[in-house]
């Protein structure tokens, strides 16, 4: 078997693939926030996945990001070069929400009293200017231990060129306080920019103890049950990492869950001949949007979380607090708002009957008829429409609207926010949404897909098979990945090709060593080189694919052309006469895993009526109640067509097809909605 598990804020999704038969089983269990491992093990049990039968277990988790959101990570100390104690506290002098007078900078992960200096100094070439003071380093380690810190982030000036002093600091800490967890900046990032590198190191140190504890416990439980397969964790930048690597560099897991859905979207897009997709993952807590162009997800080399930079390759995912559990509220001006706060798994939406009093998107979907109260998660969870109505009525009373219009307003506001999230990863990146299809999944994605696509001028929405578990499905398609980088500023006009090739050879050697340790033979390894380029004098860079890890002078012209093209697309202009320089060389080392195939859907027998379950009244904002025909997704065959207004139901999701829209069932069971334009 292959098993993948995606732990979300509300539900834990499980997919079990039987490699002999190709049969896929999808299951959901409620997330257990106090101990996510319990939810994972419950999911295994519910899905009938015996640990001894599992060959690959791929896991995505929100543990790290939740620890940062709730500020429940480790107590971290910083050790840096003498004179640079305040680099992390000061950050950059810019402020992203420049005109928001209500903005408050988030609380620092490290208080100033836990920032320490050690006498040492390298120059930008890595040569020693001030020798490392080992006695002072041991004294700093004693102070850190005395303050009760659990984890240490070590980031010395120019250590990206020469890590010698960071290694000595680690040695000093281990001598004095071997129980402390230590993160060295050069293990994560070999690039300049001290603040970004320090922030990345701090985040890794912040989530490392809690992540190690969780992964160790989960692995021990599985091993006791007979598991002896491969345990992999999905990375924020796509791909996967081994359990041991995840314990050492957990910063790569911070956005691991949402990345699975983007990987799955890229796989499905190639399969059905739709290489340009906008993935749209609406879960119980959040909405994650990402863009796939020409079959490849966008990768950013610096992500940001609550204004804190994370300088590692990360799939370009824009997340907003707009999910099924997002709570409706009335602001000081008397206006209806939705999110970003969520009811989560406990107590959940009001209709769950677990004590929640706040109206949520799920409650609104129930009141308007989008949801069938008797078929939520295939009937496994009983939801109460009267509780949903009461919660929404309380909101309606505050704004002077009846319960149906209030519920429809909650849905409309949510759809508007989601359309805004899609604009961020499309229009603001230089792409027009009309050139893409919207691939919607998660428990709520199919609810709103057609309307969000219509709002943005997207002609087609695609609902993949098993949309409620699709992020977990994408995790079955990953390869093992290691990312390496090295700042190496040099002009393209007089490029020393041998020097660049030497850096790539060094990075490839590191990647090959890591993949060999992961168990990959040379024939199952591949290397993907890129480089960060900019016009001389610029601050920001563009990541450009390289023709190989061994360059020749003949390659330079093509590299310049690629850079100008990408710069034009990203920034709206290019400057062909200006000199270009390389800033950072990057290499992705990939260990290729066998990919399972997605089974084809049974060809339709031309009996769409046999899939019809009945009809349901649905309330639409401003136009009242409408009758929608209801269909069972699993009784539709490839080639079947359904005209809106219609609802297509399955245990983990509900697809809305509105008046004027048409739905076609694709070869692999995907639902393809051609969206009617608004005049």
Residues 153 and 71 in one domain: yes
In a domain, 315, yes or no: no
In a domain, 489, yes or no: yes
Say what the pLDDT of residue 80 is: 97
Pick the range with the lowest mean pLDDT from 166-170, 177-181, 379-383, 601-605.
379-383
Which residues touch 33 (CB under 8 Å, ≥6 apart)? 9, 344, 345, 346
Give 338's strand partners: 328
Say what the pLDDT of residue 379 is: 64
Residues 392 and 505 in one domain: no
Which residues touch 93 (CB under 8 Å, ≥6 apart)? none
Residues 504 and 401 in one domain: no
Task: Kindly state the tokens that stand for 462.
Answer: 């695609």
Identify the band that residue 96 occupies on the pLDDT scale cut at 50, 70 and 90: low
Q: What number is the average pLDDT over the span 409-421?
A: 95
Highest mean pLDDT: which of 140-154, 370-384, 567-581? Answer: 140-154
Query: How many Cβ atoms from other residues are within 10 Å of residue 231's Cβ?
Result: 21
Q: Which single residue is written with the structure tokens 């297509």?
A: 648
What is the C-alpha separation between 558 and 482, in angstroms, rounded?
27
What is the C-alpha separation between 515 and 517, in angstroms, rounded?
5
CA–CA distance from 384 to each of 350, 628, 634 (Å)?
Answer: 8, 21, 26
Pick the range with the lowest mean pLDDT from 458-467, 540-549, 603-612.
603-612
- pLDDT of residue 132 exceeding 80, the answer is yes
Residue that is last in its domain, among 207, 228, 249: 228
- Sign of the Cα torsion 229, 234, 239, 242 reads negative
Q: Which of 2, 22, 593 is nearest to 14 (CA)?
A: 2
What is the C-alpha separation between 426 and 448, in angstroms, rounded?
18
Query: Is the backbone of residue 295 left (phi > 0), alpha (psi -120 to 50) or beta?
Result: left
Which residues touch 632 (CB under 8 Å, ≥6 apart)? 611, 612, 613, 648, 649, 650
Residues 390 and 500 in one domain: no
In a domain, 551, yes or no: yes
What is the C-alpha separation between 114 and 87, in angstroms, rounded?
13
What is the C-alpha separation between 21 and 401, in angstroms, rounded?
54
Higher-pLDDT residue of 606 and 175 is 175
Pick the range with the lowest mean pLDDT from 342-351, 396-405, 647-656.
342-351
- Of the chain, the percentage scoring pLDDT greater than 70 comes to 98
In a domain, 254, yes or no: no
Identify the band that residue 600 occupies on the pLDDT scale cut at 50, 70 and 90: confident
Identify the band that residue 307 occupies on the pLDDT scale cut at 50, 70 and 90: confident
Residues 98 and 193 in one domain: yes
Residues 224 and 364 in one domain: no
Which parts of 432-559 are beta strand (E)?
437-441, 460-463, 480-491, 525-535, 542-545
What is the C-alpha separation between 180 and 173, in angstroms, rounded?
8
Contact indicator for 497, 550 with CB cutoff of 8 Å: no
In a domain, 13, yes or no: no
Question: How confident is the model over 464-477, as pLDDT tens digits?
Answer: 998 988 888 888 88
Bridging pattern class, strands 303-305 and 308-310: antiparallel
Q: Which of 571, 582, 591 is nearest to 530 (CA)?
A: 582
Residues 65 and 190 in one domain: yes
Which residues touch 167 (CB under 8 Å, ≥6 apart)? 184
Laid out side by side, the sheet with 624-632 consists of 612-620, 624-632, 646-650, 653-657
Residues 380 and 499 in one domain: no
What is the C-alpha separation between 171 and 178, in angstroms, rounded?
9
- Give the orientation angle of helix 63-70 with respect to helix 194-224, to 10 degrees: 120
Q: What number is the average pLDDT over the span 619-643?
A: 94
**Mean pLDDT value across the chain:** 90
Residues 407 and 494 in one domain: no
What is the C-alpha separation between 90 and 17, in angstroms, rounded?
49
Query: How many Cβ atoms from other residues are within 10 Å of residue 479's Cβ?
Result: 19
Say what the pLDDT of residue 46 is: 86
Identify the band that residue 636 occupies on the pLDDT scale cut at 50, 70 and 90: very high
Residues 510 and 382 in one domain: no
In a domain, 407, yes or no: yes
Residue that is last in its domain, among 212, 228, 244: 228
Q: How is the chain split among helix, strand and coil, in percent rounded to 5?
A: 35, 30, 35
Say what the pLDDT of residue 453 is: 96
CA–CA distance from 30 to each of 38, 348, 358 (Å)?
Answer: 10, 10, 19
- pLDDT of residue 43 exceeding 80, the answer is yes
CA–CA distance from 251 to each of 190, 219, 234, 338 (Å)?
Answer: 15, 19, 12, 30
- State the CATH number of the domain containing residue 153: 3.40.50
**CA 128, chain centre distance (Å):** 40
Residue that is last in its domain, among 544, 570, 591: 591
- pLDDT of residue 26 exceeding 70, the answer is yes
- Give the orientation angle of helix 164-176 with respect to helix 134-146, to 10 degrees: 50
Query: How many Cβ atoms from other residues are within 10 Å of residue 502's Cβ?
Result: 12
Q: Which of 5, 3, 70 is nearest to 210 (CA)?
A: 70
Residues 382 and 520 in one domain: no
Higher-pLDDT residue of 381 and 367 is 367
In a domain, 633, yes or no: no
| Domain carrying residue 393 | 326-411
With vertex at residue 516, the alpha carbon angle to CA 511 and CA 519, rounded to the nearest 5 degrees, is: 130
In a domain, 564, yes or no: yes
For residue 358, which phi and psi values (nearest 5 degrees)?
-85, 135
Structural domain count of the chain: 3
Say what the pLDDT of residue 65 is: 76
Question: How confident is the model over 472-522, as pLDDT tens digits?
Answer: 888 888 899 999 999 989 999 888 999 999 999 999 999 999 999 988 999
């Amino acid at each position: 078997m292959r098993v993948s598990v995606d732990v979300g804020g509300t539900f834990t999704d499980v997919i079990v693939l039987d490699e002999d038969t190709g049969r896929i089983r999808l299951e959901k269990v409620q997330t257990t926030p106090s101990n996510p491992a319990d939810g994972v093990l419950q999911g295994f049990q519910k899905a009938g996945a015996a640990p001894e039968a599992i060959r690959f277990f791929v896991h995505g988790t929100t543990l790290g990001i939740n620890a940062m959101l709730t500020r429940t990570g480790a107590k971290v100390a910083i050790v840096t070069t003498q004179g640079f104690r305040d680099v992390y506290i000061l950050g950059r002098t810019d402020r992203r929400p420049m005109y928001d007078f209500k903005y408050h900078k988030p609380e620092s992960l490290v208080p100033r009293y836990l920032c320490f200096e050690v006498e040492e100094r390298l120059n930008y070439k890595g040569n020693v200017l001030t020798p490392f003071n080992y006695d002072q380093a041991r004294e700093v380690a004693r102070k850190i231990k005395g303050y009760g810190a659990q984890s240490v982030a070590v980031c010395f000036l120019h250590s990206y060129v020469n890590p010698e002093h960071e290694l000595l600091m680690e040695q000093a800490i281990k001598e004095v306080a071997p129980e402390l967890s230590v993160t060295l900046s050069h293990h994560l990032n070999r690039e300049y920019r001290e603040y970004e590198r320090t922030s990345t190191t701090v985040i890794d140190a912040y989530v490392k103890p809690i992540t190690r504890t969780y992964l160790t416990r989960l692995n021990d439980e599985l091993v006791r049950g007979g598991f002896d397969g491969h345990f992999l964790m999905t990375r924020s930048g796509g791909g996967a990492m081994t359990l041991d690597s995840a314990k050492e560099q957990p910063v790569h897991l911070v956005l691991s869950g949402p990345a699975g859905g983007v990987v799955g979207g890229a796989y499905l897009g190639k399969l059905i001949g739709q290489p340009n997709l906008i993935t749209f993952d609406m879960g119980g807590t959040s909405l994650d949007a990402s863009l796939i162009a020409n079959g490849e997800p966008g990768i950013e080399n610096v992500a940001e979380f609550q204004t804190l930079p994370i300088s590692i390759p990360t799939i370009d995912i824009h997340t907003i607090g707009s999910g099924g559990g997002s709570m409706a509220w009335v602001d000081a001006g008397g206006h209806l708002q939705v999110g970003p706060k969520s009811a989560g798994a406990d107590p959940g939406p009001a209709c769950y009957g677990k004590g929640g009093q706040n109206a949520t998107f799920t409650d609104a979907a129930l009141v308007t008829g989008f949801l069938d109260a008797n078929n939520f998660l295939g009937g496994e969870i009983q939801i109460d429409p009267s509780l949903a109505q009461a919660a929404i009525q309380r909101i309606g009373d505050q704004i002077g609207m009846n319960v149906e219009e209030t519920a429809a307003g909650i849905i409309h506001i949510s759809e508007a926010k989601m359309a805004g999230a899609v604009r961020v990863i499309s229009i603001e990146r230089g792409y027009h949404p009309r050139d893409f299809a919207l691939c919607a999944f998660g428990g709520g994605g199919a609810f709103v897909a057609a309307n969000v696509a219509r709002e943005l001028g997207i002609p087609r929405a695609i609902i993949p098979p098993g949309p409620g578990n699709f992020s977990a499905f994408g995790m079955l398609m990953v390869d093992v990945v290691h990312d390496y980088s090295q700042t190496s500023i040099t002009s393209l006009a007089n490029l020393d090709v041998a020097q660049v090739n030497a850096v790539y050879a060094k990075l490839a050697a590191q990647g090959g060593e890591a993949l060999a340790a992961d168990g990959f033979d040379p024939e199952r390894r591949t290397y993907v080189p890129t480089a960060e380029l900019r016009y001389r004098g610029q601050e920001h860079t563009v990541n450009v694919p390289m023709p190989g890890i061994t360059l020749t002078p003949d390659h330079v012209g093509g590299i310049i052309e690629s850079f100008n093209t990408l710069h034009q697309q990203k920034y709206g202009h290019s400057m062909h006469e200006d000199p270009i320089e390389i800033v950072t060389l990057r290499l992705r080392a990939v260990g290729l895993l066998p990919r399972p195939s997605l089974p084809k859907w049974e060809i339709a027998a031309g009996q769409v009526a046999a899939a019809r379950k009945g009809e349901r009244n649905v309330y639409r904002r401003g136009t009242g109640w409408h009758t929608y025909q209801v269909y069972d997704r699993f009784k539709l065959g490839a080639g079947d067509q359904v005209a809106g207004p219609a609802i297509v139901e399955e245990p983990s999701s509900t697809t809305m097809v509105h008046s004027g829209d048409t739905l076609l069932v694709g070869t692999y069971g995907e639902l393809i909605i051609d969206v009617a334009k608004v005049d």
